[in-house]
Amino acid sequence: MADGINLEKRGIPAVSILTTSFTRSGDAMARRYGFPGYRYAMVQHPLGGVSAEECRQKAEAIIEDVLTILAGQKAAVAPGVS
């Protein structure tokens, strides 16, 4: 999150990706860094201990959200963003 937010503050488009278990801390970090409502993509938890194929499937499941965020539009996956 911090890297994505810092890049965005510098005008560099970025996408932070969090697993579903870390959305609360991600939202808190965004507020702390002065970016409340920061858009990020969420991937199903966990990522650790999964096969390469499972990881690929999880990445493919969020690619549209990543592209949407990079295009400057709101992604459906970022909770609390209106």
The residue whose two tokens read 């709101």 is: 74
- The percentage of residues in the chain with a pLDDT greater than 90, rounded to a whole number, is 74
Res. 74: pLDDT tops 80: no
Grouping H, G, I as helix, E, B as strand and the rest as coil, residue 12 is coil
**Rounded average pLDDT over 21-45:** 93
Give the Å distances, CA to CA, from 29 to 26, 42, 51, 67: 5, 15, 29, 22
Full-model pTM? 0.79
Quick: pLDDT tens for 6-32. Answer: 998 888 889 999 999 999 999 999 999
- Contact of 16 with 26, CB cutoff 8 Å: yes
Among 60, 9, 64, smallest CA distance to 38 is for 9
Q: Which H or E element spans position 40?
A: strand 40-43
Mean pLDDT for the chain overall: 87
